[in-house]
Structure 1
Amino acid sequence: MKLKKISNISVDCVVFGYDTLTKSLNVLLIKRYLESKTEADILVDDYVLTGYHVCENETLDDAATRVLKELTGLTNLYKKQFKAFGDPDRLMNEKDLIWIKHEQFNLRTITIAYYFLLKTEEVALEENKYQAKWFPIRNLPDLGFDHEKIILEAHEDLKTKCLHEPIIFELLPDKFTINEVQDLYQSILGIEIDNRNFRRKLIKKKYIIALDEKQIGISKKPAQLYMFSKDVYEKIFEKNYLIHI
């Protein structure tokens, strides 16, 4: 049975991915492209967040999970609903109006924004039907609708939350080095962190477990590997900063 969509309520998903090779926090965007039917003109050519209308008898969380799965094939990822966007003029850009007419969207659509955290290598983009592509958070392309605003507000929320909760480990391999944790924090926060001070603080955390393993397959001296123990964290953590930076 085909679900009936609610014409003026949607979800938009900011998918954050971290690339350990480039040390870049990225956002997954999809291509928005429309050519004129009568002339050889390109009417719309930019990128947007993935999103869709909420269907009747569907929760907001279920809608966001559905949209993410359609884009990436993934489920059970870290997910946070962080804000609703409903300004009357949020869809009034000239290109947006052309797109809305073509897609028959409601001009007064309110969107509920979520962000998800994953590792970039978890998403296969080669045959993605949405022409999805990763972009560094600090080098975004031309974006449609109010999606730049949504991304920047999601990023601000992530900056705050990563200092209070262990969500950064959603973006790292299961086994990681202290430098990789520092690189990720620097990428999210956009700041330089003192290496020695950061290392001293992190290895004191009982939920950061040193492994009897080192990096393999690298030319330089291999570094010690660690893992994050969610069980230990939940037992001892008090509602305070995960780490002071």
Structure 2
Amino acid sequence: MDFRKIDNLSVDCVVLKLEENGLNVLLRKRTLNLYNENLPMVDDWVLPGHYVLKSNNLGETANRVFKELTGENHLNRNQFRTYGNAARIKSDKDLLWIRSRGAKVRTITVAYYLIIASNKDLLKMDDSIKWFNLKSLPQLGFDHHQIINDAYDDVKSKIITDPLIFDFVPIKFTLNELQLAFESILDVELDNRNFRKKVSGKPYIVPLDEKQKGLSKKPSRLYMFSRDVYSQVVETDYIINK
């Protein structure tokens, strides 16, 4: 394997997860202090990412980022946009950071979003990496605020017709969990009865002979998403109607 990097081509990953407080994105702490009063101190947050190695393709680079965070491969990655504007790296902090890494000032970034199910945990969690709610993001480096907004817009545009929603919930989920996921991501309120009627008629949302465990209230029935059945559905239909 050729471990040399292509120093003007990178991959950034918008890792998304639903928590109780809503949709969250994973960010990595970025710090640099050269103890020079003429140079700015860098202390903010960025998306996890890597430069592309000469022996890797773009998807492999995105998977390398995810594997470092979780210890697992991630096949459901979604490439949504490329950022190559000549002026995208222009702040003093960003320029200092790039030059300290010996990289090119003009870098082309291919962006992916990767979805983690709500019941999954990351392998690596420390002070250098943290979940942030999309509605209360910290100070971000580069154009990462724009990349996050673009990823969110892409998710919202696809989630009604594509099966992205099932990546956000556990493999075995309740209809209530599925509804809450739609409501949280789309920032809408859905009629409970109509929602259940709509999704119950979908052949790829398969009822199981299992119920939730460990709850004091009446346990709800569990369901699974069948990708095989979904791929055989010929007609184009909305998974839900907003």
The answer to whether TM tops 0.5 is yes
Partner amino acid for 2:107?
T
Any unmatched runs of 5+ in structure 1? none
TM-superposed deviation, 1:73: 2.0
TM-superposed deviation, 1:182: 0.8
Q: Is the 8 A contact 1:82 1:115 kept in 2?
A: yes
Residue 161, structure 1, aligned to residue 152, structure 2:
no
TM-superposed deviation, 1:54: 1.2
In the aligned structure 2, how far is the partner of 1:168 from the partner of 1:232?
16
Out of 36, 44, 68, the position equivalent to 1:70 is 68
Partner amino acid for 2:61?
A
Q: How does 1:115-194 map to 2 (within 5 A)?
A: 115-119=113-117, 121-126=120-125, 131-194=128-191
Residue 205, structure 1, aligned to residue 202, structure 2:
yes
TM-superposed deviation, 1:215: 1.7
Residue 244, structure 1, aligned to residue 241, structure 2:
yes
Aligned residues: 240
Cα deviation, 1:55-98, whole Å, max 9, x if unaligned, reads: 22321111221222223322133101111011112111122122
Matched with 1:29 is: 27
SS at match of 2:12: strand
Q: Is the 8 A contact 2:174 2:222 kept in 1?
A: yes
Cα deviation, 1:173-204, whole Å, max 9, x if unaligned, reads: 11111110011111111111121111111111
SS at match of 2:159: helix
In the aligned structure 1, how far is the partner of 2:184 from the partner of 2:139?
22
Instruction: Tell me the C-alpha RMSD between the 2 structures.
Output: 2.0
TM-superposed deviation, 1:227: 1.4
In the aligned structure 2, how far is the partner of 1:69 from the partner of 1:229?
25
In the aligned structure 1, how far is the partner of 2:36 from the partner of 2:82?
37
Q: Is the 8 A contact 1:125 1:131 kept in 2?
A: no
Residue 54, structure 1, aligned to residue 52, structure 2:
yes
TM-superposed deviation, 1:116: 0.8
Partner amino acid for 1:24?
G
Q: How does 1:214-225 map to 2 (within 5 A)?
A: 214-225=211-222
Matched with 1:3 is: 3
Partner amino acid for 2:84?
G
How does the TM-score come out when normalised to structure 2?
Answer: 0.91
Cα deviation, 1:127-176, whole Å, max 9, x if unaligned, reads: x5x82111112221111000010011011101111112112111211111
Identity in percent? 47
